[in-house]
Amino acid sequence: MKSPQHVPVLLEEVLEYLNVRPGGVVVDATLGLAGHSSEIAKRLGGKGKLIGFDRDPEAMEKAKARLEVLRAELGDEMPEVVFEPRAFSEASSLIEPGSLDGLLADFGVSSLQLDEAHRGFSFRTDGPLDMRMDTRSGETAEQVVNQEDENELADLIYEFGEERRSRRIARAIVRARPITTTAELARIVSAEAPPMKGEKIHPATRTFQALRIRVNNELGEIQSLLKSAGSLLKPGGRLVLISFHSLEDRLVKDAFKAAKDAKVFEVLTKKPVVAAEQEQMRNPRSRSAKMRAAEKI
């Protein structure tokens, strides 16, 4: 099986805004394959502490292996690392209030999830309709596609995928049931809702996004993190969040505005930070990334 090529998005910008200092305590709420965390660890040093959350057991195992290699390189300069194999919404019950110098979350789907066909996240490779970040429990995309009634299916494709042709797509899905693979679903959606004039994305993109968000309760997870972040950070602590679509970015933007008005945070990014042209060419997945940062007052 091909090993996924993992390139952390907006790495230099993350490190700049997170302002990692030796001896600090930083949470990577979306550890993934430890791309960001590897560089954070180098800056924390031997007296620092890194806490990594990830509910994906495959990603967690690969992150542990990568950070063990880094430990061998850094020796005594490697910070203490705590692995939390769970959703980041649980951070508030596990971390002492006011103890963090930094908190990073990259809300994008990881390379591992997209590139491994058996995970069912992508229509570019055929695989089972799973889409669960935590493969140990929960409803799969196959269950949602085959068990939701037509109206509920249309609503979730419209709300979470921002897909205007959601009614037509839902009707086509219901007619074609049972659907068990990513390629099958992509064919059904593409036949019913072909690319619109000038549109560059695959016609199934929004439907797959909607199902993934629903299966993993992604927006609910983000809302939980946004509610607890202020209480977990020390004064001067930094919150850095990377979004990949408008629903995520809207939640972050609105939360930052409310926190600024309440004098909880100073917002450090007037506009979202986006990847430079060179990074976009090198890593196409960075094109839709938007980073916002704030500092606890």
Binding residues for S-adenosyl-L-methionine: 34-36, 54, 88, 106, 113
Q: Are 37 and 83 in contact (CB under 8 A)?
A: no
Euclidean distance between CA atoms 63 and 57, whole angstroms: 10
Among 34, 205, 218, 184, which residue's Cα sits nearest to residue 114?
205
Terminal-to-terminal C-alpha distance of the chain: 47
- CB atoms near residue 214 (< 10 Å): 22
- Known binding-site residues equal 34-36, 54, 88, 106, 113
Q: How far is CA 108 from the centre of its chain?
A: 3
Sheet strand arrangement including 233-243: 80-84, 49-53, 25-28, 100-106, 233-243, 290-296, 265-267
Among 106, 173, 160, 124, which residue's Cα sits nearest to residue 2?
124
